[in-house]
């Protein structure tokens, strides 16, 4: 696998990415990935997924969102809406490359909003042929609520309301630690070292107002419109990204879909424990659906049924 630093722009801000390719020349089918919750492009956690995809002939673009890592933009602004813009612009960037087949682009996302963003991109951008969403968040309000006891949740909402008043009367709001005061880490998250290589480079203070966008974060609504093939991977009894979020995304999706539930493990342990079982499923899903399309066949079996789309390749 070859890794090359690349740059492109999103709404005028420079984004830094890593372009991972097979040793053989392209054009390649391509997979785009935006990092998960507070993640960065060069996290070691992602490398083995990229190695498996590259071994199957894909190229992978992973990048830092605006304001994070090596990318430009306002530092420490945690905005799912901006992240979706960045992902759409990353797809556009892929279509400009001579070594990419622009008709064969997919998305892979893992880790909370990383998994949710994959669903949002597949819904927003018809150029994306298939999506993989691993341990996703489907509903931001429910996610933040379930991290807290009810009295803590009510205090959190009261703090947001006070911050709104502060912003309109002084022009500035509170700064908070995103992992401690917006997301509430589980004991497993505090103990794990799986993201230790990038943890010291995430922002330690962001505006509390960023929580407003997390509360409005709704990949579940996107899934209900989605006909793009979707693979969802969850963890049974997940204390970090609730299992039913993965199940709800799967149930809502209208196109080809598959749900994988990893049992007898935990959110962070699953990355290692079932690596050999889940990774081939990810690669197979993307290999099956991220392909050039020369003839599209749309079929509706009977009135009231969803339309089925079959994409056919022609010999070159």
Identify the residue whose tokens are 């008709």: 103
Instruction: Give the separation between CA 113 and CA 200, rounded to whole angstroms.
Output: 20
**CA distances (Å), 130 to each of 72, 114, 218, 284, in order?**
29, 15, 19, 11
pLDDT at 193: 57
* CA proximity to 64, closest of 30, 102, 14, 107: 14
Instruction: Give the separation between CA 60 and CA 97, rounded to whole angstroms.
Output: 13
**CA distances (Å), 247 to each of 6, 96, 112, 300, in order?**
36, 36, 14, 26
Structural domains in the chain, sorted by start: 2-138+219-312 (3.40.50.1820)
Element of type H or E holding 130: strand 128-136
Instruction: Give the separation between CA 187 and CA 171, rounded to whole angstroms.
Output: 36
Tokens linked to 256: 């080809």
Instruction: Give the separation between CA 173 and CA 292, rounded to whole angstroms.
Output: 48
pLDDT at 184: 83
Phi, psi of 260 (to 5 degrees): -115, 125
Instruction: Give the separation between CA 244 and CA 146, rounded to whole angstroms.
Output: 12
Instruction: Give the separation between CA 107 and CA 105, rounded to whole angstroms.
Output: 7
DSSP codes, 245-287: HHHHHHHH--SSEEEEEE-SS-TTTHHHHTHHHHHHHHHHHHH
Contact criterion met (CB below 8 Å) for 143 and 241: yes
Instruction: Give the separation between CA 219 and CA 210, rounded to whole angstroms.
Output: 17
Q: Are strands 230-235 and 257-262 parallel, antiparallel or unpaired?
A: parallel
Phi, psi of 38 (to 5 degrees): 60, 20
Instruction: Give the separation between CA 185 and CA 191, rounded to whole angstroms.
Output: 10
Element of type H or E holding 48: helix 44-55
Instruction: Give the separation between CA 82 and CA 206, rounded to whole angstroms.
Output: 15
* CA proximity to 174, closest of 146, 208, 134: 208
Kindly give the confidence (pLDDT) of every residue in the chain, 316 residues in length, as a single tens digit, with 9 standing for 90 and above: 999 999 999 999 999 999 999 999 989 999 999 998 888 999 898 999 999 999 999 999 999 999 999 999 998 899 999 999 999 999 999 999 999 999 999 999 999 999 999 999 999 999 999 999 999 999 999 999 999 999 999 999 999 999 999 999 999 999 999 888 888 877 776 776 565 666 677 788 899 999 999 999 999 999 999 999 999 999 999 988 999 999 999 999 999 999 999 999 988 888 888 889 999 999 999 999 999 877 777 878 777 666 777 776 766 6
Identify the residue whose tokens are 């960045």: 86
Return the DSSP state at 231. E
Q: Tally helices (H) and strands (E) across the chain.
A: 12, 12
Q: pTM for this one?
A: 0.92
What does the chain come to in residues? 316
């Amino acid at each position: 696998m070859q890794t090359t630093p690349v740059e492109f722009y999103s709404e005028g801000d420079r984004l830094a990415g890593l372009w991972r390719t097979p040793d053989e020349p392209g054009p390649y089918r391509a997979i785009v990935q935006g990092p998960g919750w507070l993640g960065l492009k060069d996290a070691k956690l992602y490398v083995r997924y990229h190695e498996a995809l590259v071994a199957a002939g894909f190229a992978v673009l992973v990048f830092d969102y605006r304001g994070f890592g090596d990318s430009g933009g306002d530092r420490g602004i945690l905005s799912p809406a901006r992240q979706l813009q960045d992902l759409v612009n990353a797809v556009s960037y892929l279509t400009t490359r001579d070594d990419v087949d622009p008709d064969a682009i997919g998305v892979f996302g893992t880790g909370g909003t990383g998994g949710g963003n994959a669903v949002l991109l597949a819904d927003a951008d018809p150029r994306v042929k298939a999506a993989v969403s691993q341990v996703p968040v489907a509903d931001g309000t429910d996610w933040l609520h379930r991290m807290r006891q009810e009295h803590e949740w009510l205090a959190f909402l009261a703090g947001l309301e006070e911050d709104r008043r502060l912003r309109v009367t002084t022009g500035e709001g509170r700064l908070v630690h995103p992992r401690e005061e917006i997301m509430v880490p589980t004991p497993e998250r505090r103990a794990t070292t799986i993201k230790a290589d990038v943890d010291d480079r995430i922002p330690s203070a962001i505006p509390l107002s960023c929580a407003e966008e997390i509360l409005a974060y709704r990949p579940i609504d996107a899934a209900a419109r989605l006909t793009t093939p979707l693979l969802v991977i969850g963890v049974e009894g997940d204390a970090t990204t609730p299992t039913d979020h993965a199940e709800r995304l799967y149930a809502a999706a209208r196109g080809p879909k598959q749900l994988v539930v990893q049992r007898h493990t935990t959110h962070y342990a699953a990355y290692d424990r079932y690596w050999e079982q889940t990774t081939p499923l990810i690669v197979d899903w993307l290999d099956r659906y991220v392909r050039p399309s020369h003839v599209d066949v749309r079929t509706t079996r009977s009135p009231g049924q969803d339309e089925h789309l079959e994409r056919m390749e022609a010999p070159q």
